Structure 1
Amino acid sequence: MQKNSPVGDANVSRRDVVVGSIAFAMAVAVPAIASGHASTNAIISNASHGDMTMGMVTTKDGAEIFYKDWGQGQPIVFHHGWPLSSDDWDTQMLFFAHNRYRVIGIDRRGHGRSSQISEGHDMDHYAADAAAVVEHLDLHNTIHIGHSTGGGEAARYVARHGKGRVSKLVLVAAVPPIMVKSPNNPGGLPIEVFDGLRKSLAANRAQFFREIASKPFYGFNRPGSSPLDGVVDNWWRQGMMGSAKAHYDGIKAFSETDLTEDLKSIDVPTLCMQGDDDQIVPYKGAAELQVKLLKNGTLKLYPGFPHGMLTTYAETINPDLLAFVRG
């Protein structure tokens, strides 16, 4: 099991990184998107708008799952964090489309543009919903990349649905193996932490989401740092697009689901990436444990990076992702 040395410069300005990422994205010309996928009974609608294809897949229990599908080449499927949408992967999807990969972003049930179905907000349904999209698009030799809750979803998908379809997996600041403290997980967070999240969400979801985005998620509460208004507003926008019930139920899904056996069963090369200043998912109970449970795992720890490093440190994270994907 290989372990890499910590990488990245924790002293790089978050504002400089984001501004640089914006300039890069403006200079990128996304290649033409492949059109035409085999139709199945699962599809409700499919619309092509110039350089992107998007559609909805209906699951067995009636959830309508939104996806977007850009570019041509080896497919990369992105699984987003709570309570966001596939828009949180915009920077990575543009980057990989520019590097001639086919990129697929999925909005989890109850999140983003997927339907606000009442039930099924658990890892089993999340993984099955992803499988429905993958099967509809007939994807093979895929790379799955999951952030935070999306890392749990991706791990369960690969373990239970990905046999013969998946070539690699990336877990970014991901929740596996399990977050909540228990006799079997004495280093976890007390259940009272997650009860507090539920209480705050039920009392005033809009303000609660603003507090998370403007403070711990991106490390904007650290000395010398200040919130980037556009980043905070975009996080809040994505969160408020989704269902309050899906977000409420999702707290149990991301905190109490034990993914230990899923990790043990995964044999494809897996990269575990996390910042050591992650205030949302403590890295000692996440990436450091993941790489011990995986059969073929590699660990990358980033000094000083926050939970939302995909956005504020994209100039470091994206090339590392590309190196792993190509390697």
Structure 2
Amino acid sequence: MTSVTTSDGVRIFYKDWGPKSAQPIVFHHGWPLSSDDWDAQMLYFLGKGYRVIAHDRRGHGRSSQVSDGHDMDHYAADVAALVEHLDLRNAIHIGHSTGGGEAARYVARHGRDRVAKLVLISAVPPLMLKTEANPGGLPIEVFDGLRRQLAANRSQFYFDFASGPFYGYNRPGAEPSQAVIWNWWRQGMMGAANAHYDGIKAFSETDFNEDLKNITVPTLVLHGGDDQIVPVADSAPLSARLLKRSTLKVYDLLPHGVCTTHPDIINADLLKFVIV
């Protein structure tokens, strides 16, 4: 398997498809998934002549199942190790959900001279947790509930999560795809329970306000208007305002997992942003 080993000894699995001379697009997956979640986007942009790269976050997918480092600082540093290993320049980074937080922190702290553009899709910044400074966030009890369900029966929890709010399959008139549900479950169960448990704190309690303020590259912010995982009101518009060069687009009634449920819409908007 293709992989890079970080300075603290973690093996990060990655995919690297397409001509090495082409502009690279780096994809950052959501919790608790893997690089496989980007199939529809990687195949699309590969067909457009781009070099497409995606990795499995530490503790996720085919990367090392280690005991520590399951936080945004390590996630971003792992991306930096991958980018340096492949010597990627003029890259476009696209992050979904937790991967949006990872991508934002990477660009802000490591990637200024290597990044051309950034895309945040259904992303967790600026901050998911409700605090005095972030009154519109979700209360800690929501995330404690996720931790309890994961610890009690991770397999059932993941099946229920994919069958319901992640893709909006719990909405009236929705037509759930069992293949999509089981693929989400498969990706989740490939990873380590401890990494996923700690990852809940990473995606919910990390404050990205300063990261967003420090990002200077053009950034596209996309979000589903019916996102039940990362509610749009306290995420995308706030991020767009903090970013120096942002474009915001909210899709009415679309769910959190828009890259899978509506790839034609997402891919078309990504291509428009990439080629400008």
Question: TM-score, normalization: structure 1?
Answer: 0.83
Aligned equivalents of 1:97, 1:232: Cα separation in 2 = 25
Deviations 1:182-227 (A, max 9, x none): 0111110000000000000000000000001001000000001131
Map 1:24-103 onto structure 2 (within 5 A). 55-72=2-19, 73-103=22-52
Aligned equivalents of 1:184, 1:120: Cα separation in 2 = 27
The residue aligned with 1:173 is: 122
Aligned equivalents of 1:225, 1:55: Cα separation in 2 = 38
Post-superposition shift, 1:163? 1.5
Bigger CA radius of gyration: 1
Instruction: State the one-letter code of the partner of 1:278.
Output: D
Instruction: State the one-letter code of the partner of 1:99.
Output: K
Deviations 1:11-43 (A, max 9, x none): xxxxxxxxxxxxxxxxxxxxxxxxxxxxxxxxx
User: Once superposed, what is the RMSD of the aligned Cα atoms?
Assistant: 0.6
Aligned equivalents of 1:278, 1:94: Cα separation in 2 = 25
Instruction: State the one-letter code of the partner of 1:251.
Output: I
For structure 2, which runs of at least 5 residues remain unmatched after alignment? none
Pick aligned residue for 2:231 from 262, 282, 300 = 282
Which runs of 4 or more aligned residues in structure 1 lie more than 3 Å from their structure 2 counterparts after TM superposition?
Answer: none
Instruction: Count the aligned residue pairs.
Output: 274
Matched, 1:197 2:118: no
Aligned equivalents of 1:129, 1:117: Cα separation in 2 = 13
Percent of counterpart pairs with the same letter? 70
Matched, 1:227 2:176: yes
Q: Secondary structure at the match of 1:254?
A: helix
Matched, 1:146 2:95: yes
Aligned equivalents of 1:316, 1:106: Cα separation in 2 = 24
The residue aligned with 1:11 is: none
The residue aligned with 1:130 is: 79
Map 1:236-251 onto structure 2 (within 5 A). 236-251=185-200
The residue aligned with 1:120 is: 69
Question: TM-score, normalization: structure 2?
Answer: 0.99
Q: Secondary structure at the match of 2:64?
A: coil
Matched, 1:315 2:264: yes
Aligned equivalents of 2:167, 2:156: Cα separation in 1 = 17
Aligned equivalents of 2:175, 2:32: Cα separation in 1 = 22
Deviations 1:92-130 (A, max 9, x none): 000000000000011000000001011000000000000
For structure 1, which runs of at least 5 residues remain unmatched after alignment? 1-53
Aligned equivalents of 1:155, 1:106: Cα separation in 2 = 16
Instruction: State the one-letter code of the partner of 2:99.
Output: G
Pick aligned residue for 1:185 from 134, 146, 164 = 134
Q: Secondary structure at the match of 2:249?
A: strand
Q: Secondary structure at the match of 1:300?
A: strand
